[in-house]
A and B are shown apart, each in its own frame.
Chain A
Amino acid sequence: MVRLVVLSLLAIAVLMAGCAPLPPQPEDQTVTAQELPEWQDGMMGPFTDGQHHPAVASLFAKAENARQQQQWRKAMTYLDQARQIQPRNPAIFYRAAWVSLQLGDAAQAEQLLQRGLVFAQGDDELTRRLQLLLAEALDAQGRTAEADRLRVDVGRR
């Protein structure tokens, strides 16, 4: 009987250890369209939207703060730091691309979105969201025909 109790306690302890809230590894985080701020008619929701790795979430909060004061370079600095932590997170590329557009650097926004798209492969909704912003970046460079074609493609899916 004693043995049974000890064994059960051990089993429970092992199970609890498994449930202990360990912070996820930055690389293991899955990113979906939920992690992108809402975007409509050129207006973007708060950078803090979505679920993120704690280190990235804290940098997003700082970037959001800078953004509210229209300190675009400062916002970009925080997003760069976030990219150092998660170099393949499309949600960071998305925010950085939007800030690039505010800085008037549409070519950079385009490159960032294209890199984000590589890591969004296999997630249709995430891809669609990145492409919609990419169309803006193309428009801003005067490539309206390309942008329109992309929007039609996105709409068809």
Chain B
Amino acid sequence: MEAAAAEQLDRLESRHTGLKDQLETAAVITSVDGGEVRALLGSRKPEFFGFNRALAAKRAIGSLAKPVVYLTALQSGRYHWGTPLDDRPVNVAGPGGQLWQPQNYDHRSHGIIPMIDGLVNSYNQATARLGMTVGLGQVAETFSKLGLTADVPPYPSILLGSISLSPFEVAGMYQTIASQGFVMPLRTIEAVTTAQGETLSSYSLRGEQAFDPAMMQWLRYGLEQVAERGTARRLTQQLPGPLAAKTGTSDDQRDAWFAGFDNRHLGIIWVGRDDNQPMPFAGSSAALPVWLETFRLAGSEPLPAATALKMAAVNDRGELVGSGCRGTLYPFISKRLPADLPECEAQPPAAPDKEKKSWLDWLF
């Protein structure tokens, strides 16, 4: 991982003058099953002894907060990945009561979109609207349910990641998603044993179930789409998918984040400057390549199929329709799907297909 980080940062700096040796990085890699820390990088100079950014540098997490908002929505029972969301300008109040209007990364609004697109393309306006509708208190609660012990004030700005966390804290939250709902303390010690080798206390046993595994698979579908066709699509262009991921960029591009996991490991990468100055990069261009290179070198394993989900058709209004009806397919938690789906709406009769005639018909 050290090699991957050093190489990628050198490459980024070489593209922009005046950046030489300005970028710093921190990373945490854990095992999905046990929460064991497999690698911890506190600086681009591994020999540097002292300030460990992976544990101590708290920076705004930007869009890494979005999955928390979407999870809150999915949990409310009122939303699914095909629910229409409004991606239009919106006013959001900050901690001091000041209003600001979040912009999308491409400085455009996208109108009515299915909920999945809000996460996949990391739209700020749709996400802020969604978070305020499901409730800031609920979103703050989801943060702590995911295992975050830091205080999350219920301000609208948290929806877009104004809270500052260390890579280690972020890893703790994403660990709960990757492990299908178990909050487990990240640790480097496997167990404490007696002199005879008997286990006194096994840390890998600790893991309280905070979410239904099916719910985590439902959220994971969204993160898989990010890696499949969204802001992290470079991942599946270069490694076998499905993989789950989210990019993050804080205000003015001061912090570039990347969170992603495969079947075995979770990796959280931060790239930024110690003086907290803006950089000419986003999460997808600065932090993603470090993750990609690390997982390529270490070997990645695609995520297994989501056994708790079932695809069902949804119409433009976000309503479930019967299997033969016109609609777009989205995944649902199988055990929650109603047994009888509504009848198809009357469709305008399609023009009867003209029977295709081959040149043989013409011949005879």
Contacts and interface: CB of A to CB of B under 8 A. Distances in A.
A32 interface: no
B309 to A, nearest CB: 11
B252 interface: no
B213 A77 contact: no
A118 B205 contact: no
Interface string B196-229: 0111101011111100010000000000000000
B207 A76 contact: no
B150 to A, nearest CB: 24
A121 B182 CA distance: 16
B207 A115 contact: yes
A54 B74 CA distance: 42
B230 interface: no
A80 B207 contact: no
A53 to B, nearest CB: 16
B198 A88 contact: no
* Listed residue (B33, B181, B200, B307) with the most chain A CB atoms within 10 angstroms of its CB: B33
A121 B213 contact: yes
Interface stretch (A8-16, A34-42, A106-114, A141-149): A106-114
B202 A73 contact: no
* Listed residue (B31, B208, B209) with the most chain A CB atoms within 10 angstroms of its CB: B209
A77 B180 CA distance: 25
A26 interface: no
A76 B197 CA distance: 11
A88 B182 CA distance: 14
Size band of the interface chain A makes with B: 10 to 19
B3 interface: no
B34 interface: yes
Main secondary structure of the interface of A (DSSP, over half): helix
Contact of A80 (B31, B181, B182, B204): B204
Contact of A122 (B33, B182, B198, B307): B307
A77 B200 CA distance: 9
Contacts of A118: 180-181, 213
A122 B335 CA distance: 12
B199 A80 contact: yes
A121 B307 contact: yes
Given A74-B198, A76-B199, A77-B198, A111 B208 contact: yes
A114 B199 CA distance: 22
A77 B193 contact: yes
Contacts of A52: none
A121 B204 CA distance: 21
B198 A111 contact: no
Contacts of A108: 205
B205 A112 contact: yes
Contacts of A84: 190
Nearest to A105: B205
A83 interface: yes
Contacts of B197: 77
A46 interface: no
Interface in A14-57: none
A111 B202 CA distance: 13
Given A73-B198, A115-B182, A80 B191 contact: yes
A87 B190 CA distance: 13
Given A111-B205, A114-B209, A118-B181, A87 B34 contact: yes
Contacts of A83: 204
Interface of B: 31, 33-34, 180-182, 190-191, 193, 197-200, 202, 204-209, 213, 307-308
Top 3 A-B pairs ranked by shortest CB distance? Answer: A87-B33, A77-B199, A122-B307
12 contacts: A73-B199, A73-B200, A76-B199, A77-B193, A77-B197, A111-B182, A111-B206, A112-B205, A114-B182, A118-B180, A121-B213, A121-B307
Interface of A: 73-74, 76-77, 80, 83-84, 87-88, 96, 108, 111-112, 114-115, 117-118, 121-122
